[in-house]
Chain A
Amino acid sequence: MSKKVISVQRFNPETDKKPYMQEYQIDTNDFHGTMLLDALEHIKTMDQTLTFRRSCGEGVCGSDGVNINGKNGLACITDLRKLPKTIKVRPLPAFPIVRDLVVDMEQFYSHYESVEPYLQNDDEPATERIQSIDERAKLDGLYECILCACCTTSCPSFWWNPDKFLGPAALLWAYRFVADSRDTATEKRLDQLEDLFKLFRCRTIMNCADVCPKGLNPTQAIGHLRDEMIDRAI
């Protein structure tokens, strides 16, 4: 591999009426690194107007979620060598576009905040709260979420009801605290999800788990939340 065509969706609200695709021919020998983000950075040295977010460059900060040949992922850990010759890069779907690959994530964050994503427990013990290895293991696959929004923006239920259905990421966080042996607000957390939309709009389509760059499984977390709600209903 050395020559690639990167086709990027462009949109600058100051000059464009609607988004369009722009092609950049690149030679991967011209720059350092093998990831899609390296290619975007390289293009940006030639066309300074190309706009995208990035920070860590190694898949831990969640800045550069984009849609790559139809599938959401992080540009910084998507290996060009595993992609076809022509690569279409678009912003994450379902959010308003600010400019080029940058989307407005307001809705995503407000759903996240709505699940009260913080430990609730008023005790102030003198040492750490004791949590067994097994209890702690329940948080694995949940706490690692980097809030990249790849999942939520690939979820058809979210596309149809972005204001009412919380989406996989927020629900994953809701469950992260329900699953924490140290949290005392489970009842309240479940009460807040008793609504036709917030949780129950999930149709178990699994897109979310399929795209999560951290290998997390929001579908499963949503399933656990459902189980908890059914359990307490009986």
Chain B
Amino acid sequence: MDLKTLKYDAIIVGGGGAGLRAALQLSKSGKKVAVVSKVFPTRSHTVAAQGGINAALGNRDGEDDWRYHMYDTVMGADFLGDQDAIEYMCQHAPATVLELEHMGMPFTRDENGKIYQRAFGGQTREYGKKNVHRTCAAADRTGHALLHTLYQQNVKAKSHFFSEWYALDLVKSETGGVSGVIVECIETGELNFLQSKAVILATGGAGQIYKTTTNAYTCTGDGLGMVLRAGFPIQDMEMWQIHPTGIYGVGSLISEGTRGEGAYLINSEGERYMERYSPNKKDLDCRDVVSRCSIQEIQEGRGCGPNKDYVLLRLDHLPKEVIEKRLPGITELARTFAGVDPEKEPIPVIPTAHYMMGGIPTNKYGQALTTDKNGNDVIIDGLYAAGECACVSVHGANRLGANSLLDIVVFGRASGMHLEEDLKDGKPFSKPSEEDIGRCLSRYERWMSSTDQSGSEPFAEVRSDMQQIMMDYFGVFRDGKGMQEAMDKLLAIRPRVQKAYLGDKSKTFNTSLVEALELDNMIEVAIATAYSALYREESRGAHSRIDFTERDDKKFLHHSLYFIDGRLEKREINMKPELVEPFELREREH
């Protein structure tokens, strides 16, 4: 196969918030940099983020402090987060948000003309004592405002884009690092090897492994698949955030910002049940907590509707102006997808797969990690990861709302800065392994030569079976027996993926080929989730087991690392922030 090689100082895979922030950093450095994105950058999933981005600006409450934000994040993460990374993120949050404002991001404003901040789940002041308004918002279209602003800045900086190009796999170097990436131009079908001194993966989440999800069709965990196939681990894959308020039957998200503005959940009896479960934080308790309560209400027969299988989100008591000015986007979604007018009727909602806390392990500079024989961290030469595909880990076992937009910008920037320094210091190209290029191309060849014989199925059928299993067994509550069954089923699906066929062999804009390649990634992410979830015999954050209902710090206060051969390793949690005393283990408060 003819394979054109192009050389770049740095390649960024992903044009969402993380990728674009990294690109901006590097474009300004005068180095030869390119961004590869399978969709036009402003179509990346960041565009769908609604509620806001956290920063302790204190615009509304007079005083706020990044240390309080850090405390909330550590607690929200149920102690599975790395405290050095959380410290870095929270400390840099105010400057990050102000920088976005300077770039032109159209934040909503308060009476003083400053950035408007709203309440969000799990956010407090004075270490849990008072409520706080910390979430900076552009109405309920914060992600759109953020992504477009970052794209605009990249237009200004004349960043180079490979738009609608699909990254297949990382090419390893002869010394075990990363030498570049194999990409396909979706429009023409042409394959290229982009050789680069470093690759930053910013490929976003993988919510599509679940049947119903708030995530876009394009959230298929591609970066994770690439890393696993290159022989590197992924971390904390059991930790999936199931958001309390996805629109029933559809999955579209109704932002937590809605509850931040005063909406609340009710059951079939009209009871505001979160007051019972969580007397202080109520509807603004952490997402894992609220989702569990909703499921419990449904399981105990207090669900709404003919099948008693959802709950209701009420906001008809809010002033019309609040709904119109601050929640226009969710109003549109509720009308279109639930057929209800939220100014008059409650919205039917259900906990829905939303966010991947796990991902590619990195340090706080975005450098991707693996381990040596003794289990020590080893930096992978030439590989960075940032955004939802990375696990740095600031979200631990449960992400706080509005911390992800922050994460993607802070660590997109940090990885860009770190790589910029490395390039300045003369980081060289590494020598790509010919053999590994062959490995990367073989997956493409497998699909393009797949045939419709007996025993093979269209890939979409296999995908749908996988999504159903994930939905049935890896939701809000999990149990060992069910997960073991699910694991067996997933392991049986893996060979079906290998045999599945692609019914379109065209070169021109072959979206079925892209979907088939994505399925290779999704099944590996699903299997990683199953292995990690079975391994963690405790309940922590979003991982809630009915057979192990307590958090078990003696046995499980560590990250889980998963390798593609099914191997699991422990990795220590960082408890060493630089500027403050570490937050010591304790129970979460509600």
Chain A positions within 8 Å of B, measured between CB atoms, are 12-15, 33, 44-45, 47-49, 51-63, 77, 79, 98-100, 102, 105, 109, 113, 116-119, 121, 124-125, 127-133, 135-136, 139, 143-144, 146-147, 177, 180, 182-183
Contact = CB atoms under 8 A, between A and B. Distances in A.
Contacts of A116: 156
B557 to A, nearest CB: 37
Contacts of B141: 60, 144
A102 B337 contact: no
The 5 closest A-B pairs by CB, nearest first: A119-B104, A48-B503, A130-B113, A118-B152, A61-B43
A61 B42 contact: yes
B190 to A, nearest CB: 14
A49 to B, nearest CB: 5
A212 B252 CA distance: 21
Given A59-B336, A63-B39, A136-B106, 9 more contacts: A14-B508, A45-B458, A55-B43, A57-B216, A105-B40, A121-B102, A135-B113, A146-B144, A183-B104
B217 A62 contact: no
B226 interface: no
Given A12-B506, A33-B250, A55 B217 contact: yes
A98 B510 CA distance: 11
B467 to A, nearest CB: 11
B56 interface: no
Interface of B: 39-40, 42-45, 47-48, 98, 101-104, 106-115, 138, 141, 144-145, 148-149, 152-153, 155-156, 187, 216-218, 250, 252, 329, 332-333, 336-337, 458, 460-461, 502-504, 506-512
Contact of A55 (B98, B216, B458, B512): B216
Majority secondary structure of chain A interface residues (helix, strand, loop or mixed): loop
A55 B39 contact: yes
A95 B279 CA distance: 57
Contacts of A62: 42-43
B218 A144 contact: no
A143 B217 contact: no
B265 to A, nearest CB: 22
A53 B102 CA distance: 33
Contact of B217 (A54, A100, A131, A180): A54
A51 to B, nearest CB: 5
A169 B330 CA distance: 24
A14 B506 CA distance: 8
Contacts of B104: 118-119, 177, 180, 182-183
Nearest to B461: A45
12 contacts: A44-B460, A45-B460, A48-B460, A48-B503, A55-B216, A56-B216, A57-B216, A61-B48, A79-B336, A127-B98, A180-B106, A183-B104
Contacts, number: 145
Contacts of A143: 106, 138, 145, 148
A57 B217 contact: yes
Nearest to A102: B509
A190 to B, nearest CB: 18
A173 to B, nearest CB: 9
B332 A136 contact: no
A98 B187 contact: yes
A48 B144 contact: no
A124 B98 CA distance: 10
A48 B506 CA distance: 11
B109 A124 contact: no
B551 to A, nearest CB: 35
A139 B106 CA distance: 8
A7 B218 CA distance: 26
A133 B110 CA distance: 7
A48 B217 contact: no
Contact of A49 (B102, B145, B336, B503): B503
A135 B426 CA distance: 47
B218 A55 contact: yes
B456 to A, nearest CB: 13
A56 B115 contact: no
Nearest to A127: B98
Contact of B512 (A49, A54, A57): A49
Contacts of B460: 44-45, 48
Contacts of A135: 109, 113
Contacts of A98: 187, 508-509
A233 B91 CA distance: 49
A14 B507 contact: yes
- Of B42, B45, B141, B252, most buried by chain A (CB within 10 Å of CB) is B42
Contacts of B329: 60
B269 to A, nearest CB: 30
B48 A60 contact: yes
B48 A56 contact: yes
A116 B104 CA distance: 13
Nearest to B213: A57
B458 A63 contact: no
B442 to A, nearest CB: 21
A61 B216 contact: yes
Contacts of B112: 130
Given A49-B504, A118-B104, A182-B104, A61 B512 contact: no
- Which of B104, B144, B149 is most buried by chain A, counting CB atoms within 10 A of its CB? B104
Given A117-B152, A147-B42, A48 B109 contact: no
Contacts of A128: 98, 101-102, 107, 114-115
Nearest to B513: A48
Given A49-B512, A99-B508, A119-B104, A146 B145 contact: no
